[in-house]
A = this chain, B = another copy of it.
Amino acid sequence: MPDCAGFPARPVSPDDLDLICRHREAMFLEAGGIAADLSVMGAHFRPWLRERLADGRYYGFVLLDAGIPIAGIGLMTLDWPPHPNHPEQDRRGYVLNVYVEPGHRRRGLASALMELADAEFARRGVGFAVLHATDAGRPVYAGLGWQATAEMAKRIG
Protein backbone atom coordinates (compact mmCIF):
# COMPACT_ATOMS: atom_id res chain seq x y z
CA MET A 1 0.00 0.00 0.00
CA PRO A 2 1.31 3.50 -0.72
CA ASP A 3 2.15 5.57 2.32
CA CYS A 4 0.43 8.93 2.61
CA ALA A 5 1.62 11.52 5.12
CA GLY A 6 2.69 8.60 7.28
CA PHE A 7 -0.57 6.70 6.98
CA PRO A 8 -1.11 3.73 4.67
CA ALA A 9 -3.59 4.23 1.82
CA ARG A 10 -5.71 1.53 0.23
CA PRO A 11 -8.10 1.70 -2.74
CA VAL A 12 -11.80 2.05 -1.94
CA SER A 13 -13.86 -1.12 -2.20
CA PRO A 14 -17.58 -1.98 -2.14
CA ASP A 15 -17.21 -2.50 1.61
CA ASP A 16 -16.63 1.27 1.95
CA LEU A 17 -20.23 2.11 1.01
CA ASP A 18 -21.22 3.25 4.51
CA LEU A 19 -17.95 5.11 5.05
CA ILE A 20 -18.19 7.10 1.81
CA CYS A 21 -21.85 7.95 2.39
CA ARG A 22 -20.98 9.19 5.85
CA HIS A 23 -18.06 11.24 4.53
CA ARG A 24 -20.24 12.84 1.83
CA GLU A 25 -22.98 13.88 4.23
CA ALA A 26 -20.48 15.15 6.82
CA MET A 27 -18.61 17.13 4.15
CA PHE A 28 -21.74 18.93 2.97
CA LEU A 29 -23.00 19.42 6.54
CA GLU A 30 -19.74 21.13 7.51
CA ALA A 31 -20.02 23.28 4.37
CA GLY A 32 -23.35 24.66 5.60
CA GLY A 33 -25.83 22.06 4.34
CA ILE A 34 -29.08 21.21 6.12
CA ALA A 35 -29.11 17.77 7.72
CA ALA A 36 -32.63 16.87 6.58
CA ASP A 37 -31.81 17.76 2.97
CA LEU A 38 -28.55 15.85 3.13
CA SER A 39 -30.40 12.83 4.43
CA VAL A 40 -32.59 12.90 1.29
CA MET A 41 -29.47 13.21 -0.83
CA GLY A 42 -27.86 10.35 1.05
CA ALA A 43 -30.79 8.03 0.45
CA HIS A 44 -30.35 8.58 -3.30
CA PHE A 45 -26.58 8.67 -3.27
CA ARG A 46 -26.25 5.26 -1.59
CA PRO A 47 -27.66 3.08 -4.41
CA TRP A 48 -25.92 5.29 -6.98
CA LEU A 49 -22.60 4.67 -5.22
CA ARG A 50 -23.19 0.96 -4.57
CA GLU A 51 -23.50 0.31 -8.30
CA ARG A 52 -20.39 2.33 -9.14
CA LEU A 53 -18.20 0.88 -6.38
CA ALA A 54 -19.13 -2.56 -7.66
CA ASP A 55 -18.13 -1.88 -11.27
CA GLY A 56 -15.22 0.46 -10.58
CA ARG A 57 -16.69 3.63 -12.06
CA TYR A 58 -16.19 5.16 -8.60
CA TYR A 59 -12.65 4.67 -7.42
CA GLY A 60 -10.37 6.39 -4.92
CA PHE A 61 -8.54 5.84 -1.66
CA VAL A 62 -8.96 5.53 2.08
CA LEU A 63 -6.24 6.46 4.57
CA LEU A 64 -5.88 4.26 7.63
CA ASP A 65 -4.57 4.84 11.14
CA ALA A 66 -4.00 1.50 12.86
CA GLY A 67 -6.45 -0.05 10.41
CA ILE A 68 -9.18 2.55 11.04
CA PRO A 69 -10.25 4.84 8.14
CA ILE A 70 -9.37 8.44 8.91
CA ALA A 71 -9.78 10.08 5.47
CA GLY A 72 -11.05 9.34 2.00
CA ILE A 73 -11.20 10.62 -1.57
CA GLY A 74 -13.45 9.62 -4.45
CA LEU A 75 -12.51 9.70 -8.13
CA MET A 76 -14.41 9.23 -11.35
CA THR A 77 -13.67 9.48 -15.05
CA LEU A 78 -16.32 11.61 -16.74
CA ASP A 79 -17.31 11.20 -20.36
CA TRP A 80 -16.61 14.68 -21.76
CA PRO A 81 -16.35 16.20 -25.25
CA PRO A 82 -12.81 16.85 -26.44
CA HIS A 83 -12.03 20.37 -25.23
CA PRO A 84 -9.19 22.90 -25.55
CA ASN A 85 -7.96 21.69 -22.14
CA HIS A 86 -7.90 18.05 -23.32
CA PRO A 87 -8.13 18.22 -27.11
CA GLU A 88 -7.31 14.57 -27.76
CA GLN A 89 -9.27 13.04 -24.89
CA ASP A 90 -13.02 12.52 -24.53
CA ARG A 91 -12.95 12.34 -20.75
CA ARG A 92 -11.88 14.26 -17.68
CA GLY A 93 -11.20 13.21 -14.13
CA TYR A 94 -13.48 14.22 -11.28
CA VAL A 95 -12.55 14.42 -7.58
CA LEU A 96 -15.29 14.21 -4.95
CA ASN A 97 -15.97 13.36 -1.32
CA VAL A 98 -12.61 14.50 -0.01
CA TYR A 99 -12.97 14.12 3.73
CA VAL A 100 -10.60 13.99 6.69
CA GLU A 101 -11.94 12.99 10.09
CA PRO A 102 -11.93 16.02 12.44
CA GLY A 103 -9.36 14.50 14.80
CA HIS A 104 -6.83 14.12 11.97
CA ARG A 105 -6.92 17.55 10.36
CA ARG A 106 -4.11 20.05 9.83
CA ARG A 107 -1.59 17.31 9.12
CA GLY A 108 -1.65 17.53 5.32
CA LEU A 109 -3.88 14.49 4.77
CA ALA A 110 -6.11 16.26 2.23
CA SER A 111 -3.05 17.29 0.23
CA ALA A 112 -1.70 13.77 0.45
CA LEU A 113 -5.01 12.39 -0.85
CA MET A 114 -4.92 14.89 -3.72
CA GLU A 115 -1.45 13.70 -4.65
CA LEU A 116 -2.75 10.15 -4.75
CA ALA A 117 -5.53 11.39 -7.03
CA ASP A 118 -3.03 13.02 -9.40
CA ALA A 119 -1.03 9.82 -9.58
CA GLU A 120 -4.10 7.67 -10.14
CA PHE A 121 -5.39 9.93 -12.93
CA ALA A 122 -1.93 9.92 -14.50
CA ARG A 123 -1.79 6.11 -14.26
CA ARG A 124 -5.13 5.96 -16.10
CA GLY A 125 -3.96 8.45 -18.72
CA VAL A 126 -6.42 11.16 -17.65
CA GLY A 127 -4.84 14.52 -18.50
CA PHE A 128 -7.32 17.00 -17.05
CA ALA A 129 -9.47 16.91 -13.94
CA VAL A 130 -12.07 19.01 -12.15
CA LEU A 131 -13.64 19.20 -8.71
CA HIS A 132 -16.05 21.38 -6.77
CA ALA A 133 -14.43 22.98 -3.74
CA THR A 134 -15.92 23.81 -0.39
CA ASP A 135 -14.68 27.06 1.14
CA ALA A 136 -12.51 25.00 3.46
CA GLY A 137 -11.04 22.98 0.63
CA ARG A 138 -10.35 25.78 -1.85
CA PRO A 139 -7.01 27.00 -0.40
CA VAL A 140 -5.73 23.43 -0.19
CA TYR A 141 -6.53 22.80 -3.85
CA ALA A 142 -5.23 26.20 -4.94
CA GLY A 143 -1.93 25.39 -3.25
CA LEU A 144 -1.70 22.22 -5.34
CA GLY A 145 -2.21 24.01 -8.66
CA TRP A 146 -5.98 23.81 -9.05
CA GLN A 147 -7.59 26.93 -10.54
CA ALA A 148 -11.14 28.28 -10.60
CA THR A 149 -13.12 27.60 -13.78
CA ALA A 150 -15.93 29.55 -15.46
CA GLU A 151 -18.61 27.02 -14.56
CA MET A 152 -22.09 28.40 -13.89
CA ALA A 153 -25.19 26.60 -12.63
CA LYS A 154 -28.94 27.07 -12.43
CA ARG A 155 -31.91 25.31 -10.95
CA ILE A 156 -34.42 24.48 -13.65
CA GLY A 157 -38.16 24.98 -13.38
Binding site for B on A (CB under 8 A): 24, 28, 33, 37-38, 40-42, 44-45, 48-49, 78-79, 81-85, 87-90, 93, 96, 118, 121-122, 126-135, 138, 141-142, 144-157
Bound Cα distance A63, B146 (Å): 37
| Interface residue from B28, B89, B132, B146 paired with A154 (Cβ < 8 Å) | B146
CB-nearest residue of chain B relative to A121? B156
A147 engages B152 (CB within 8 Å)? yes
Main secondary structure of the interface of A (DSSP, over half): mixed
**In this complex, which of A84, A89, A133, A134 has the most chain B Cβ atoms within 10 angstroms of its Cβ?**
A84
- From A120, which residue of chain B is reached at the shortest CB distance? B156
Measured CA separation A131–B153 after assembly (Å): 6
